């Protein structure tokens, strides 16, 4: 629902993370807290806007032509084309400013280095307590500019054992433009420590390998995956599709949709009065695919007719693969093959009307300037947990504010402030950190879910592995 609107990222402090000594798996105290002791912003609410520029974008023309030729498309197809078209997709164009003040949104890692450092501390603790001294490989889904991974690697590099254990860093990224930025940010550190940087277009390209301990992070990744919008009717589950706005003149037989659908938020006219070229329509009958999506979770069974839910089979499939990377079948449930973190906005429930677009740090109509806006949908964390069944154990989720606070944000911020070269700089560091945990913004809207490999006896998942995803901490 919210994205940060400006960057105030604290700069790295040389040797600020150098550990005074090796931390052993048998040391007392909770894992991350023990590591942290060794290591020694308000978000703005945005109003809906729709700029007056109504020229047809390249993606818009492609979509309009496809719909006119073959009929309405799914929201998943619409989202995929807008974000990932090979040449005109939002994330694929080198000219597109995505992050920062000149872009359309700013993420937590861009606001403060503390975010990435605390994520790194959690990942390190997982290896110390469950890795059994295995070699390490790191995986990030949708790495953006590489800022988060850079902070994580900086933390791990301060521990000689972890630094030497890292063999490869796997980055799942489809955008050539983003890959170039990631290479620029990560190659110097990787070259220095002789780590192998590998890029993949899909998580499917990363093989399951329990002989190595996998540390995975997915920050604002699942919210950008295509989804299907389905509506429960007396007949079953029918899909809500995207049609051209001028299709209102067609009858249901020629259009092959129910033209009587009245959308809750989108209409043929945007908030500024500029006509939209797209509209929502309801498929005339339940299809096998929509019924399968409606049956994909037992939570959907008792929803009343008229309910709409956003379901992402792509998210389910990827979460399932994440579970496989965490699972060690050879150990028969004796040990985990890895640990991961998913950070995104959403909740442990399905949503029906969370799909939204961002342009220049403001929410705009989802049909505004296709291919030039960021598109996002809330993550159903319960759905991700269901995908992990039998392979990995979900921890949480907890709010981002809870995660960062329990992981030692206050102590790290104080250390950075003491190292700051001026009072003004110290104030900037504190302000940036506060934005991350603000209970009226990022601190509550973003959820953090941990993932560890399933054991035959869940009691064998130690409290150190579960931290900070514990009750009444």
pLDDT of residue 241: 97
Torsion of CA 41, 47, 53, 58, to 10 degrees: 70
Q: Mean per-residue pLDDT for 292-299?
A: 97
| CB contact at 8 A, 341 and 216 | yes
| CB contact at 8 A, 454 and 390 | yes
The answer to which of 6-20, 155-169, 256-270, 417-431 has the lowest mean pLDDT is 6-20
Looking at the chain, the whole-number percentage of residues with pLDDT higher than 90 is 69
Instruction: Tell me if residue 199 falls in helix, strand or coil.
Output: strand
Residue identified by tokens 């907890």 is 398
pLDDT at 91 over 90: no
Instruction: Tell me if residue 351 falls in helix, strand or coil.
Output: coil
**pTM of the prediction?**
0.84
The most confident of the ranges 94-103, 203-212, 361-370 is 203-212
Instruction: Give the containing element (helix H, strand E) for 114.
Output: helix 113-130
- pLDDT tens track for 247-289: 654 444 434 444 444 444 444 445 445 678 999 999 999 999 9
pLDDT of residue 204: 98
pLDDT at 12 over 80: no
pLDDT at 10 over 90: no
User: Which position has the higher pLDDT, 333 or 125?
Assistant: 125
Q: Mean per-residue pLDDT for 130-146?
A: 94
pLDDT at 22 over 50: no
pLDDT at 223 over 50: yes
């Amino acid at each position: 629902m919210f994205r940060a609107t400006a960057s105030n990222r604290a700069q790295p402090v040389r040797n600020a993370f150098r550990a005074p000594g090796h931390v052993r798996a048998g040391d007392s105290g909770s894992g991350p807290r023990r590591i942290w002791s060794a290591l020694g912003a308000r978000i703005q609410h945005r109003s809906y806007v729709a700029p007056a520029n109504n020229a047809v974008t390249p993606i818009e023309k492609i979509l309009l032509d496809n719909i006119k030729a073959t009929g309405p498309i799914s929201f998943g197809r619409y989202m995929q084309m807008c974000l990932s078209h090979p040449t005109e997709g939002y994330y694929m164009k080198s000219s597109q400013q995505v992050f920062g003040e000149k872009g359309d949104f700013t993420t937590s890692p861009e606001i403060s280095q503390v975010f990435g450092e605390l994520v790194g501390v959690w990942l390190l603790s997982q290896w110390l307590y469950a890795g059994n001294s295995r070699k390490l490989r790191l995986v990030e889904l949708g790495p953006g500019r590489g800022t988060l991974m850079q902070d994580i690697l900086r933390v791990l590099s301060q521990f000689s054992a972890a630094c030497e254990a890292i063999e490869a860093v796997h980055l799942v990224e489809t955008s050539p433009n983003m890959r170039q930025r990631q290479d620029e940010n990560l190659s110097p550190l990787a070259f220095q420590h002789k780590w192998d940087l590998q890029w993949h277009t899909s998580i499917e390209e990363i093989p399951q390998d329990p002989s190595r301990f996998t540390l995975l992070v997915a920050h604002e990744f699942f919210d950008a995956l295509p989804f299907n919008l389905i509506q429960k009717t007396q007949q079953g589950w029918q899909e809500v599709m995207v049609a051209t706005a001028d299709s209102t003149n067609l009858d249901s037989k020629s259009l092959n949709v129910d033209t009587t659908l009245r959308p809750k938020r989108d209409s043929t006219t945007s908030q500024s009065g500029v006509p939209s070229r797209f509209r929502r329509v309801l498929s005339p009958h339940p299809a096998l695919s929509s019924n399968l999506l409606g049956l994909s979770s037992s939570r959907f069974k008792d929803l009343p007719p008229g309910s709409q839910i956003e379901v992402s089979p792509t998210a389910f499939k990827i979460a399932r693969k994440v579970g496989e990377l965490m699972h060690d079948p050879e150990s028969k449930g004796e040990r985990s093959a890895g640990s991961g973190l998913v950070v995104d906005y959403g909740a442990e429930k399905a949503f029906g009307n969370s799909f939204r677009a961002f342009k220049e740090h403001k929410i705009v109509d989802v049909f505004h300037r296709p291919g030039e806006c960021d598109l996002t949908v809330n993550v159903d964390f319960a759905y991700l947990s269901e995908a992990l069944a039998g392979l990995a154990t979900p921890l949480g989720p907890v709010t981002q504010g809870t995660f960062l606070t329990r992981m030692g944000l206050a102590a790290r911020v104080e250390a950075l402030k003491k190292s700051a070269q001026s009072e003004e700089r110290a104030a900037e560091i504190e302000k940036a950190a506060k934005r991350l945990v603000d209970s009226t913004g990022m601190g509550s809207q973003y959820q953090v879910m941990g993932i560890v490999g399933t054991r035959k006896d869940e009691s064998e998942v130690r409290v150190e592995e579960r931290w900070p995803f514990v009750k009444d901490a």
